[in-house]
Amino acid sequence: MDILLLEDDSLVAELIGLVLSGTITGAKVRYTTLVSQAKVAWNTQPAQLVICDRNLPDGSGLDLVKLIRSEDKTTPIVMISAHSDREAVISALQYGISEFIAKPFNVTMLQQRLLPILESLSTADDDDQLIPELDAWLAKALTDKLRLPSDIAPENVLPLLAQSNELSPSELARLWQKETVLSARLLNLANSASLQRSGKPLSRLDEAISTLGIDMALSLAMALALDITGSLSDKRLVTLALHHYATAEQVASIARAMAISIGLDGLSCYTAGLLSRVGELSTLRTLQDFITLGGSLDELQITSKLAEWAPNYGNRIKQQWGLPLPVRELIGAIHMTPSHATQRALLVMHLAGLRVASQLHTPEALRMLRQSGLDVEKWATKKAPYTTANAPVQAEELPDTSN
């Protein structure tokens, strides 16, 4: 479904985009920040749904509405505005809008208001939709905005919304430290804001929350929690996703413990470890969308396509989410021996990956352990701990890193 969004606030636009893509599978959102851009976008390719703010830097969103209604009387148009007085609403309705939503909006309310429109458009699409070839589907998804399976429960976010005035960025970071999808999205948006303001990239979740503000961070969390299309329903995909979530969590926990033990920033290493399987998870999400569309996959196809496409999806996500170079380097070091062997943080990430794979006993791994300053006896003699109930082996405690 092609959706044209006109909104000059990048954080609000991202929030709306999350709600849209989390409500209807296959939603493709074209973002514009100026009325002039939106007019060009519409004239180039009319959309199936238009959502526009009323007050933009170069004019009124009503100018876009007038253009559309001069040639198209049926395409749904939703207007959002901070001005929700009776006159503003009536004047907008006179131009033929389908829905008016006042700012600041509640995420749950936004989804409820948009859902009937999206479902009616989706039903019309389904009548003519053909199931594509699998590789073509995977390749097309790679050019769109990639997403991961959502693993956040609304009941875990709602109490936080009620306590927003009492929460600090460090408290939220602690509560969300294992939320792969949310951590990545918050880092992405916060880096966009931080780079514009100071040119400084962020690599820690608490810094990201502080930059965005508690209220926006909670709104984004709620949008992800309401992602009704994001859960994996195919049991084979669920099993694989749980494995990759568990592996990423293991790498993250071990990397943090290793880093702290030699005086490095443990939270940055933890964040990178948590994001180390986003390629696999995004590929699984795309395969689920293919199945939801009506496609069929056998286990061999799932395994082979996951191995084939996950690296490309991982690289694409790092670009789309604007992860800062230091974070990308930390993630990359997990999978490949770092070329900058003098950077101890990169060695830590690679060693954490080796420990999860039970490969710290090799001569090369022992050499890197000594080079990084880690205690060889402490780290090389124990198997990697699994940290979830779904892990196939018994969990054991991490080594004591307080010394």
Q: Would 115 be classed as within a structural domain?
A: yes
Which pair of structure tokens corresponds to residue 364?
């090369």
Quick check: is 22 in a domain? yes
Find, among 15, 91, 108, the residue nearest to 54 by Cα.
Answer: 91
Q: Does some domain include residue 390?
A: no
Q: Are residues 325 and 190 in the same domain?
A: no
Pair (240, 333) in one structural domain: yes
Say yes or no: 258 and 373 in one domain: yes
- Co-location of 242 and 357 in the same domain: yes
Same domain, 240 and 375: yes
Out of 225, 245, 268, a domain closes at 225
Q: What is the pLDDT of residue 393?
A: 31
Residue 391 scores a pLDDT above 80: no
Determine the structural domain holding residue 111 and report its residue range. 2-129
Task: Report yes or no on 140 lying in a domain.
Answer: no
Residue 178 lies in a domain: yes
The answer to whether residue 389 sits within a structural domain is: no
Q: What is the length of the chain? A: 403
* 75-106 as b/e: b if 16+ CB within 10 A: bbbbbbbeeeeeebbeebeebbbebbbeeebe
Q: How many CA atoms lie within 13 A of 19 on its CB side?
A: 23
Report d(CA 111, CA 264) in Å as an integer: 42
pLDDT digits (tens, 9 = 90+) for 159-194: 888 788 889 999 998 888 778 778 877 887 887 766
Q: How many helices (H) and strands (E) does the chain have?
A: 19, 7
The per-residue pLDDT for 123 is 64
Residue 78 and residue 165 share a domain: no
Are 290 and 357 in a shared domain?
A: yes
Q: What is the pLDDT of residues 316-325, one digit of tens each?
A: 888 877 777 8
Q: How far lies 282's CA from each of 272, 306, 311, 332, in Å?
A: 16, 10, 10, 17
Last residue within a domain, chosen from 225, 248, 275: 225
pLDDT at 50 over 50: yes
- The pLDDT assigned to 300 comes to 95
- The enclosing domain of 77 has a CATH number of 3.40.50.2300
- Is 135 contained in some domain? no
Q: How many domains does the chain have?
A: 3
- The answer to whether residue 122 scores a pLDDT higher than 50 is yes
Q: Are residues 115 and 181 in the same domain?
A: no
371 has pLDDT over 80:
yes
Answer yes or no: do 122 and 183 share one domain.
Answer: no
* Same structural domain, 261 and 369: yes
Average pLDDT over the chain, rounded to an integer: 83
- 34 lies in the same domain as 168: no
Name the percent of the chain lying above pLDDT 90.
33
| CA distances, 188 to each of 23, 25, 154, 218, 252 (Å) | 21, 22, 22, 15, 19
Q: Residue 383 — pLDDT band, cuts 50, 70, 90?
A: low
pLDDT for 394 beyond 70? no
Confidence of residue 263 (pLDDT cuts 50, 70, 90): very high
**Do residues 5 and 17 touch, judged by C-beta distance below 8 A?**
yes
Q: What H or E segment, with its residue span, contains residue 15?
A: helix 10-23
Last residue of a domain, one of 225, 250, 283: 225
Whether 59 and 87 share a structural domain: yes
Residue 246 located in a structural domain: yes
Q: Which residue has the tokens 């929030």?
A: 15
CA angle 223, 321, 9 (to 5 degrees): 60
Q: Is 97 helix (H, G, I), strand (E, B) or coil?
A: coil
**Is residue 80 scored above 50 in pLDDT?**
yes
Instruction: Kindly list the distances between the CA atom of residue 112 and the CA atoms of 52, 126, 245, 270, 371, in Å, as whole numbers in the listed order.
Output: 18, 21, 30, 36, 56
